Amino acid sequence: MIFWDFFGLCMANGGNSHTGGVGCGRCQFLSRWRLARNRVVVRARKHLSVSSDHGGASPGFFDRLRAFYLRSDAAKGYVLLSPVMLTMIALLAAPLILLVLYSFWTQVGLKVDTNWTGDRYRELIEKQAYVDIFWRSIQMSGLVTLVTVGLAYPMAYFVAFGVKKNKFIWLILLTIPFWTSYLLRAFSWKIILGYNGVINSGLISLGAIQEPLSFLLYNQTAVVITLAHAYAAFAILPIYVSLEKIDRTLLEAAADLGDGAWARFWRVTFPLSLPGVIGAAVLIFVPTTGDYVTPALVGGPTGQMIANLIQIQFLKIGDWPLGSALAISAMAGVAILVMLFATALQLAVRRIR
Amino acid sequence: MADNIIRIEKVTKQFAGGAKAVDDAHFNVERGEFFSLLGPSGCGKTTLLRMIAGFEFPSEGEIYIDNQASSLIPAYQRPTNMVFQSYAIFPHLNVFDNIAYGLRKSGLSGGELKRRVNEALGMIKLDGFGARRGDQLSGGQRQRVALARALVKRPKVLLLDEPLGALDKKLREEMQIELRQLQKSVGITFVFVTHDQEEALSMSDRIAVMVKGKVLQIAPPQELYEAPGNVEVASFIGSINLIDVTVKSVGAGEAVLDGAGFGQLRARAIDDLKAGEKLVAAVRPEKLALVSSRPGSGSFVEGTVKASAYLGDRSHYHVFVKGRTTPIYVAAQNAERAMTGGFDTAKSVYVTWDWQSLILLRR
């Protein structure tokens, strides 16, 4: 049938393009011929009971699937997403749901009572120690965020605006601390800050102090220093990207309209780098609040954070429901704070004109 | 002495390791003038403008703005404002705040600020657009906002760096007229950089032609076109036919020349012409006409039509003349309605002109 249609098309073209007069012998022949052909086609279609206009057999399942895939952007998107999406569902969403379920259950000895209860959350709010450690975690990671972003901004600014050649090399250099394991970095700070560490022995050999300083390690300051160093690249890179994107003509326009260097920075560069700053702040604040390696290594008794408490509930005390409730509340708290922070910062910067 | 708002004295700009972007520029811009810097891309016109604005500093020479030596004053302290080629609208601010940007710096606030900004919005016919963000504007609107943002500061000189380059043709032509009217009404000196000669010719009081860092000629549009100072200017502004000639004799205000392929030519004499001197005679394509039969008198040359193009209002012909390697370029106005005609390719024709339209130029 495809053959017939193809042939018919050729004939139709031939009929149209030949320049004979109306009713010439050849035309009459052609039209009669076409009529006859149509009759054959109709009979053939009836015989095969196919309704397709193209006269082909109905497409198979795989053809239809293929057509659907080619037409649908959503389908293409999901196919591209699927490896990551499946991993995320298996390793992130499922455990998270389990965590939520556990937080509404009760630990009874070695068994878990699966009757619904909000007692775990009540326990968290009523026990002052839990609330305290939560706030302490927030304060510490807030401080870490502030310090890291504050120190990273000038570095990112320098690479974006000051470096003319080989920017790539500078960016690689900035990420060098990340070439070793996180654990090793935390340990190296232990060596630097320790009782017989680099700072203490250095100061003693210089004669600046007689006794080693004991306030360097095993407290909140040590945690803040270690975390700020560990997360530096997470701050530098997003801020660098947002600074790099700023059209330099905008700064010239600001200068042209009367702004000196500081005013230009405050009125143009900083507001336009805000997405990078917020990104960096979130990238640091969220994981540092939940960090438990660094406080465990350098935090000492006063430097413990919420993650250490969660770890104790799960691995030492064995109260999974309470641990789950702690984890879920910490997550919710951090999420709310991050949203509030980002919105407040955006609103504040919008007032810079 | 004319009232010069800008005096550029022997200004040279040499970038590190590069050629001279601006080479010994020396000229004045009069107060209230629409002054254009015209040249091909890379000729140094933008560098010169940026030196006036204060974004670049001259290697040598001095720039006086309103009689103040300004070449080393930073941009934010100069009484100049600029309209950038990319408009440089602040993306984080709305139209109102963009226009108010410079005024806020000058310490204006409250009602006075509002009044000035709204006045500027009215001037660029964007009343009620104050709350729009920069990315919600069309190219033409962005251009207007950039213009208002610069003009609202009431600068002594407004610098415009190819501000119409990004607009489409129709909008560009509208804006040319609008800009010119605006300049007349506000009375501020405009220094306008463009590579578009039509734009420069139609808008400017005076034009400086720059090629390869050098200012070749400064003149009003008509003079620049009708009496270019040298071959480079003549060939940069519009199209032109160049004929190598040798002076045969010099009479009263008239010279008789010998041109390759043209035989004997007449032209208006220029200063210090000597017999035997080799020059270039130039003639604009639209000063030439084609006729099919040999004219009885006047200046003409016989040739063959090599190519023709019909452009609606006019037709262009390339006419090959014996003894010349490059064809003669003729632009004929299609003054009468004709469905056929013109001059067919390979047809033998005569190119005629008024002898006074020949311009003598020294190489």
- pLDDT tens digits for range B193-206: 999 998 999 999 99
- pLDDT tens digits for range A276-300: 999 999 999 999 998 888 998 888 8
The count of domains in chain A is: 3
Give φ, ψ of A181 to 5 degrees. Answer: -70, 155
List residues in chain B touching A: CB distance below 8 A. 53-55, 74-77, 80-82, 84, 86, 88, 90-93, 97, 100-102, 104-106, 149-150, 153
Tokens at residue A268, please?
A: 């143009």
Percent of chain B topping pLDDT 70: 99
> Residue A12: pLDDT band by 50, 70, 90 thresholds?
very low
How big is the A-B interface in CB pairs under 8 Å? Answer: 65
- pLDDT tens digits for range B15-60: 888 888 999 999 999 999 999 999 998 899 999 999 999 999 999 9
Tokens 């002109």 belong to B353
- pLDDT tens digits for range B51-87: 999 999 999 999 999 999 998 899 999 999 999 999 9
* Residue A118 forms part of a structural domain: no
Q: pTM of the full predicted structure?
A: 0.79
Tokens 């040590």 belong to A222
> Residue B340: pLDDT band by 50, 70, 90 thresholds?
low
Are A77 and A45 members of one domain? Answer: no
Are A133 and A238 members of one domain? Answer: yes
Q: Report the C-alpha dihedral over residues A225, A227, A229, A234, rounded to 10 degrees.
A: -150
Are A127 and A84 members of one domain? Answer: no
Tokens at residue A144, please?
A: 């870490």
* Residue A38 forms part of a structural domain: yes
Q: d(Cα B289, Cα B283) in Å, to the nearest integer? A: 12
Are A195 and A225 members of one domain? Answer: yes
Which among B81, B86, B90 has the least Cβ separation from residue A256?
A: B81
In the predicted model, is pLDDT for residue B222 greater than 90?
Answer: yes
Are A31 and A146 members of one domain? Answer: no
Tokens 């209002």 belong to B313
**Beta carbons within 8 Å of A210's beta carbon, 6+ residues apart:** A204
Nearest CA distance, B49 vs chain A (angstrom):
13
Domains annotated for chain B, with CATH where assigned, are: 4-235 (3.40.50.300), 239-361 (2.40.50.140)
Are A192 and A75 members of one domain? Answer: no
SS3 of A109-147:
CCEEECCCCCHHHHHHHHCHHHHHHHHHHHHHHHHHHHH
Q: What average pLDDT does the segment A209-218 reach?
A: 86
Give residue B201's identity as a one-letter amino acid code: L
In the predicted model, is pLDDT for residue B145 greater than 90?
Answer: yes
In the predicted model, is pLDDT for residue B339 greater than 70?
Answer: no
pLDDT at residue B341, rounded to an integer: 65
Are A262 and A155 members of one domain? Answer: yes
The reply to whether residue A252 touches residue B93, judged by beta carbons under 8 angstroms, is no
- Mutate which: A248, A256, A269, vs B, most B CBs within 10 A: A256
Nearest CA distance, B78 vs chain A (angstrom):
8
* Residue A11 forms part of a structural domain: yes
pLDDT at residue A13, rounded to an integer: 41
The reply to whether residue A249 touches residue B104, judged by beta carbons under 8 angstroms, is no
- Give the H/E segment covering residue A234: helix A232-244
ipTM for the whole predicted complex goes beyond 0.90:
no
Q: What average pLDDT does the segment B219-236 reach?
A: 91
What's the gap between Cα B251 and its chain centre?
35
* Residue A17 forms part of a structural domain: yes
Average pLDDT of every residue of chain A: 84
Q: What average pLDDT does the segment A85-109 reach?
A: 92
Q: d(Cα B103, Cα B151) in Å, to the nearest integer? A: 11
**Strands lying side by side in the sheet with B299-310:** B289-291, B348-353, B299-310, B314-320, B328-333
Q: d(Cα B282, Cα B227) in Å, to the nearest integer? A: 10
The reply to whether residue B54 touches residue A255, judged by beta carbons under 8 angstroms, is yes
What is the domain range of residue A173? 123-350
Are A332 and A196 members of one domain? Answer: yes
Percent of chain B topping pLDDT 90: 56
What counts of helices (H) and strands (E) characterise chain A? 18, 2
Are A146 and A14 members of one domain? Answer: no
The reply to whether residue B84 touches residue A247, judged by beta carbons under 8 angstroms, is no
Burial of B282 (0-12, 13-18, 19+ CB in 10 A): buried
Report how far apart, in Å, the C-alpha atoms of A100 and of each of A179, A334, B261 are.
Answer: 35, 16, 97
Which chain B residues touch A258 with a CB distance below 8 Å?
Answer: 76-77, 102, 105-106, 153
> Residue A36: pLDDT band by 50, 70, 90 thresholds?
low
- pLDDT tens digits for range A300-320: 888 888 999 999 999 998 899
The reply to whether residue B54 touches residue A259, judged by beta carbons under 8 angstroms, is no
Percent of chain A topping pLDDT 70: 84
Nearest alpha carbon to residue B158 among B361, B6, B4, B313: B6
